[in-house]
Amino acid sequence: MIRRLLLAACAVVGLSVSVQAQVATGNLRIGLREDPDIMDPTLARTFVGRIVFASMCDKLFDINERLEIVPQLATGYVWEDPRTMLITLREGVRFHDGDLMDAESVRYSLNRHMTMQGSFRRGEINTIEAVEVVDPLKVRIRLTAPSAPFLSQLTDRAGMIVSPRAAESAGRNFGNHPVCAGPFRFVERVAQDRIVVERFPEYWNAAAIHVNRITYLPIPDSTVRLANLQSGALEMVQTIDPDDVPTVRRNTRLRTSISDELGYQSITFNIGNGVRGQTPLGRDPRVRAAFELAIDRDALNQVVYQGMFTPASQPLPPANPFFIRDFRNEPRNVERARALLREAGVTTPLRVELTVTNSPDLRQVGEVIQAMVREAGFDLRLNTMEFASSLQAAQRGDFEMYLLGWSGRVDPDGNSWSFMNTTGPQNDGRYSNPEVDRMLDAARIEPDADKRRTLYGQIWQLAIRQDRSRVYLWHRKNIVAHTARLTGFVNVPDGVIRPQGIRLQ
Amino acid sequence: MWLFLLRRLGQVIPTLLILSVMVFALQQLMPGDPALILAGEERGDPVVLAQIRAELLLDRPLAEQYLSWIWRVLHGDFGFSWRIHMPVGDLILTKLPVTFQLALMSFVIGVLIGVPCGVLSAVWRDRPIDWVINGIALFGISMPNFWLGIMMILFFSVDLGWLPPSGYVPLWEDPWMSLQTTIMPAFVLGTGVASVLMRHTRAAMLGALSQDYVRTARAKGLGERLVVGKHALRNALIPVVTLGTIEFGRLMAGAVLTEQIFSIPGFGKLVVDAVFNRDYPVVQGVVLATALIFVMLSLVADMLYMAINPRLRTA
């Protein structure tokens, strides 16, 4: 009898061990490009922070690799009218402190995003007029105006639901110990060294989680980040340089995973921001067109990025459903560029200045452009600046051209409105065209996807091709590298590493 | 002796106060608006910017900003990091042991290599061994740390797989692992220190070896080992000690590039990240702490002089 009991016990232990081994094994170590900022969904602002949030804080909705919006903490939504959205919540979801997530916690979190001092989410969801609890699993959101991009905001930090009890008691220190409803719970953070999270057994989608622990390690130097992966000190790195892709591909123990990012790299022209906009370049679209036509995007991409990136002429990457296929890149045409400069009546060489942030690849980009536009009659000076200083200079209008990237949003509004609208907060060059403003506003509230796409096509034609408000250069790629032991990773274009599905052998 | 110590300690407070004003003023000269960088991609929203400025007192007069900061510092409160909302005092306390360990290891490596090499090359001046040592020292001084660091990582971690490429494990958590994570950066920093120490030891030894008392010692018939080791070296060491403490102070101030390459979470990384993110409370806190360390180290140097040279004790 005792023997049989022992046997049974052994079997149970053995079984549970083997099940455990199948369900979740190992410590996944991910190398990040920089140290994230505060880990509070309301106050956070860095991109790398979103990668860490993906393991701790689930959102109402998520996006998949095809950029479709899919349910996460919500199970669905309906527009009751163009300004009212009813969201149905998933049942039985628990926060890391054991509390149940319900409509009240959604209301609390959205209100926190909207009202907390220093919130970075307010701008994303400022169309919310009121959040109402209908029943424990239903929330009604009333907007001040119809908004096509609104739903997509709930797929990022603004859609993260925090535990009201934990948030209330921690106040502004919530970021030092975040409590959400994601697959992993916070364990510890050593600033500039590591952030550790462990598997949360009561996660609503626990079956999709196959690792026990994730350690995020900020390693700023890209060579060293890769060295860590090569030597087995990391299982995954957030990003590697395009130069390093061949090295990783040659290594049989490593894999790369590449997707188009959501954003772009562009040159902003100073058109109306202070005296430095009062140049031939700022005043005359023909001069800007000449500048653009002098640039060979493919060559630029080949020389600096080994041809890894995607040459661009519009703010949306080809993967975006609103990408306008008919809006093609113009090939380099030096003859036409020279003719345009003659037409504009400027004396060549025309002296212009490009502000570049101080990173080796962007400086190289500046130098290549410098050589290209010289042939068309531009004497391009590069003004290399440290990032924080360049932001301030751009804001003040202390620039003629500014080379800057945008990380990108799923919804086309996030890549256009605030850069092209006269009152757009990121319109550093103060470009202004009432017709463009009108269409941007119309696209914002247009519920029909096809009509919206047509509007964006017209906007690109006007703001980019005709007015030359900005030169789009390329879309970067998310180049994730990982060990061959890691499987099941899905590379979503937003560059956020989702732990769901990842296995370590 | 005690009077001397007290007097020196009395000088510390005004030094630090003057320095605190300077750090504060220098930061204002830095281009770049902290509110803009803190706002990140929300930087275009004037409401967000105004809120950040109000919260961080950036909209107040400079004098008020300074006084409110220094008042809290005098009460032991260094404020919060603007970027990660952690207390600056805690940040400094967690980085201090890391940097101290790395500095100590580098310094020991530097002294163990630098001083004996300096003595050897002075004693065998203009002989092949002198040339070899000088050559290596020149190499050590001129080689950029980040290059040596990356080469070591590629060789020892990627090719041979002997050492972890980067990161840091505290000494009390796993001493063996801790040594493994710090030996490469310590060697990179140590070679720089060794080269400097070697050059100075050599110069000081050459000076000492030509002194009358050395000739007297030799004339007395003392063995060469005693002449060099006891008479010459002891006198030659005084400038070396000064230099050594300065070098140690430099190591404690954080080895920016080396820490960045090896992802060591020490002072250097803390302050560099803080400068780039315009995280003023962290910059101010770290500079003050570093200054305090420097002042303390120069005090230690003075006391070492007295230990080495008894004549200074009466002063």
CATH of the domain at A155: 3.90.76.10
Judging by beta carbons within 10 Å of its beta carbon (0-12, 13-18, 19+), is residue B255 exposed, middle or buried? buried
Look at strands A213-218 and A27-32 and give their pairing: parallel
Evaluate whether residue A38 is within a structural domain: no
Checking if the pLDDT of A10 tops 50, the result is no
Evaluate whether residue A436 is within a structural domain: yes
Is the Cβ pair A191, B158 closer than 8 Å?
A: no
Q: Which residues contact B68 (CB under 8 A, 6 or more apart)?
A: B57, B60
Q: State pLDDT tens for residues A428-442.
A: 999 999 999 999 999
Q: What per-residue confidence (pLDDT) applies to A24? A: 60
Evaluate whether residue A497 is within a structural domain: yes
Q: Domain range for residue A421?
A: 264-475
| Chain A residues within an 8 Å CB radius of B37 | 387-388, 391
Lowest pLDDT segment from A82-86, B43-47, B274-278? B43-47
Last residue of a domain, one of A167, A199, A214: A167
**Are residues A133 and A203 located together in one domain of the fold?**
no
Checking if the pLDDT of A415 tops 50, the result is yes
Give chain B's mean pLDDT.
82
Closest chain A C-alpha to B260 CA, distance in angstroms: 7
Q: What per-residue confidence (pLDDT) applies to A11? A: 44
**Are residues A370 and A221 located together in one domain of the fold?**
no
| Chain A residues within an 8 Å CB radius of B273 | 35, 192
How far is the C-alpha of A401 from the C-alpha of A353, rounded, in Å?
6
Q: What per-residue confidence (pLDDT) applies to A18? A: 39
pLDDT, greater one: A57 or B29: A57
Q: What per-residue confidence (pLDDT) applies to B254? A: 64
How far is the C-alpha of A174 from the C-alpha of A165, rounded, in Å?
11
Greatest mean pLDDT among B102-111, B215-224, B305-314 lies in B102-111
**Are residues A311 and A457 located together in one domain of the fold?**
yes
Of all residues in chain A, the percent with pLDDT exceeding 90 is 76
The average pLDDT across B47-51 equals: 76
Q: What per-residue confidence (pLDDT) applies to A407? A: 85
Are A463 and A420 spatial neighbours (Cβ–Cβ below 8 Å)? Answer: yes
Q: How far is CA A106 from the centre of its chain?
A: 23
Checking if the pLDDT of B36 tops 80, the result is no
Task: Report helix, strand or coil for B269.
Answer: helix
Domains within chain B, CATH numbers bracketed: 2-74 (no CATH), 91-313 (1.10.3720.10)
For tokens 């201090």, name the residue.
B96
Q: What per-residue confidence (pLDDT) applies to B312? A: 67
Q: State pLDDT tens for residues A339-348.
A: 999 999 998 8
**Are residues A242 and A268 located together in one domain of the fold?**
no
A16 — pLDDT class (breaks 50, 70, 90)? very low
Angstrom CA distances, A6 to A17, A20, A407, A445, stand at: 16, 20, 59, 68
Provide the edge-to-edge strand list for the sheet that holds A194-199. A184-190, A194-199, A213-218, A27-32, A236-237, A477-483, A254-260
The average pLDDT across B253-259 equals: 78
Tokens of A214: 């994730």
**Are residues A448 and A496 located together in one domain of the fold?**
no
The average pLDDT across B125-154 equals: 85
B137 — pLDDT class (breaks 50, 70, 90)? confident
A2 — pLDDT class (breaks 50, 70, 90)? very low
Provide the CATH number for the domain around residue A411. 3.10.105.10
Sign of the dihedral through C-alpha B44, B50, B55, B61: positive
| Chain A residues within an 8 Å CB radius of B161 | 231-232
**Are residues A268 and A221 located together in one domain of the fold?**
no
**Are residues A367 and A449 located together in one domain of the fold?**
yes
Are A338 and A289 spatial neighbours (Cβ–Cβ below 8 Å)? Answer: no
Q: What per-residue confidence (pLDDT) applies to B1? A: 66
Evaluate whether residue A380 is within a structural domain: yes
Sign of the dihedral through C-alpha B264, B265, B267, B273: positive
Is the Cβ pair A425, B43 closer than 8 Å?
A: yes
Q: What is the pTM of this model?
A: 0.84
Closest chain B C-alpha to A151 CA, distance in angstroms: 19
How far is the C-alpha of B8 from the C-alpha of B11, rounded, in Å?
5
B269 — pLDDT class (breaks 50, 70, 90)? confident
Checking if the pLDDT of B313 tops 70, the result is no
146-175 in chain B: CB under 8 A from chain A: 150, 153-154, 157-158, 161, 164-168
Closest chain A C-alpha to B165 CA, distance in angstroms: 6
Q: What per-residue confidence (pLDDT) applies to A1? A: 42
Checking if the pLDDT of A178 tops 70, the result is yes
Q: What per-residue confidence (pLDDT) applies to A400? A: 95
Evaluate whether residue A211 is within a structural domain: yes
Evaluate whether residue A431 is within a structural domain: yes
**Are residues A286 and A252 located together in one domain of the fold?**
no
Q: What per-residue confidence (pLDDT) applies to B40? A: 67
Q: What per-residue confidence (pLDDT) applies to B44? A: 67
Look at strands A236-237 and A213-218 and give their pairing: unpaired
How far is the C-alpha of A431 from the C-alpha of A422, rounded, in Å?
6
Evaluate whether residue A247 is within a structural domain: yes
Q: State pLDDT tens for residues B52-99.
A: 787 777 878 888 888 888 888 888 888 888 888 888 888 888 888 888
Cis omega (within 30 of 0) for bond into A349: yes
Counting the structural domains of chain A, the total is: 3
Q: What per-residue confidence (pLDDT) applies to B314? A: 59
Of all residues in chain B, the percent with pLDDT exceeding 70 is 96
**Are residues A122 and A244 located together in one domain of the fold?**
no
Q: What is the ipTM of this complex?
A: 0.77
Checking if the pLDDT of A6 tops 50, the result is no
Q: What per-residue confidence (pLDDT) applies to B26? A: 79
Evaluate whether residue A173 is within a structural domain: no
Provide the CATH number for the domain around residue A232. 3.40.190.10
Exposure b/e, A25-47, CB count within 10 A at least 16 = b: ebebbbbbbbbbbbbbbbbbbbb
Closest chain B C-alpha to A345 CA, distance in angstroms: 35
Is the Cβ pair A193, B37 closer than 8 Å?
A: no
B42 — pLDDT class (breaks 50, 70, 90)? low
Give the best residue of B58, B145, B156, B158 to mutate against chain A (max A CB count within 10 A): B158
- From the list A38, A172, A391, the residue facing B32 with the nearest CB is A391
Q: What is the DSSP string of B27-95?
A: HHHSSS-HHHHHHGGGTT-HHHHHHHHHHTTTTS-HHHHHHHHHHHHHTT---B-TTT--BHHHHHHHH
**Are residues A397 and A272 located together in one domain of the fold?**
yes
Are A34 and A48 spatial neighbours (Cβ–Cβ below 8 Å)? Answer: yes
- From the list B81, B166, B270, the residue facing A228 with the nearest CB is B166
Amino acid residing at A491: N
Sign of the dihedral through C-alpha A423, A428, A431, A436: negative
**Are residues A280 and A389 located together in one domain of the fold?**
yes
A482 — pLDDT class (breaks 50, 70, 90)? very high
The average pLDDT across A309-327 equals: 92
Give chain A's mean pLDDT.
90
Task: Report helix, strand or coil for B172.
Answer: coil
Closest chain B C-alpha to A227 CA, distance in angstroms: 6
Q: What is the DSSP string of B134-154?
A: HHHHHHHHHS-HHHHHHHHII
Last residue of a domain, one of A135, A167, A199: A167
**Are residues A321 and A229 located together in one domain of the fold?**
no
